[in-house]
Amino acid sequence: MKPISSSENQVIKLARSLHHKKFRDQEKLFLAEGRRLVEEALAIPGLVEALFIREEQADDFSDRQDLDCYIVNDRLLKLISATESQQGMAAIVRKPVWDLATLASAEGFLVLLDRVSDPGNLGSIIRSCWALSVDALLLTPGCVDPYSPKVVRSTMGGLFHLPLIEAVAEQELDVLQMQGYELIATGLDDALDYYDIDMRTKKILVLGSEATGIRSTIKSRCSKTSRIPINPGVDSLNVAAACAIITAEAWRQRKVKPL
């Protein structure tokens, strides 16, 4: 283990740079903060690039010879932290690498988000998709960065486990359709109740921007539209809640006997 006391240390500077998307993209790294998130990352071999702990935590990681582990004080932890109050532990984590072609080869159930911009919504969706065994989450250009600190915190570790593909182009959706995937939109026009749609074969559930919904060029690729019946006095559901409800039904269907 290596003690660090200076804010000018290059590893500290790297950690602080990851508050910004430009450097997360450039380095293919991001920050995880707090013991629970860090331990989720540590459970996956090779994912953690550097670990920052207090001196009193050193014994907990003394057997991790595979890690670059740094002992820092509270002042440096606060500098590293992207939150108002540091959470006692942090790590620089490598972005997981997933291959869309490999993920799409199975009889999968995928979720596609089109320009979802709220970090809390994306974090909740990642957590729900992980919990409900979605095979992969696809993000179009214009979605919020899934590796931003707020999204990472709200996933509660789901980001380390759920296959996620960023910047999915519409041409890639054409390829998925040629491979047998059916796109199902969410909305109200000419829609079926979500529990009346068979989701046991290759399906991609499409959810759109909180403000403008699914863009027309993607919606035109969808063969069906699903809706969630709700109290008529309520305008709509939050996109994260809608995703959880429909993916829970897909999980239920896919657990029963196949067609």
The pLDDT score that the predictor gives to residue 258 is: 61
Instruction: State how beta strands 182-186 and 89-94 pair.
Output: unpaired
Q: Which residues pair with 138 in a beta bridge?
A: 112, 165
pLDDT-based confidence at residue 146 (cuts at 50, 70, 90): very high
pLDDT confidence tier of residue 85, bands split at 50, 70 and 90: low
Per the DSSP assignment, residues forming a β-bridge with 2 are: 70
* E strand spans, the chain: 2-3, 29-33, 48-53, 69-71, 89-94, 109-114, 136-139, 164-165, 182-186, 192-193, 203-208, 222-227
- Residue 130's identity, in one-letter code, is W
Mean pLDDT over the full length of the chain: 93
CA distances from 122 to 136, 144, 241 (A): 14, 8, 11
Question: Which region among 83-97, 106-120, 157-171, 237-251 has the lowest average model confidence (pLDDT)?
Answer: 83-97
pLDDT value of residue 174: 95
Residue type, 189: D
Domains in the chain, please, with CATH?
2-94 (3.30.1330.30), 100-255 (3.40.1280.10)
Percent of the chain residues topping a pLDDT of 70: 98
3-state secondary structure of 158: helix
Range scoring the smallest mean pLDDT among 21-25, 33-37, 91-95, 119-123: 33-37
The pLDDT value recorded for residue 211 is 85
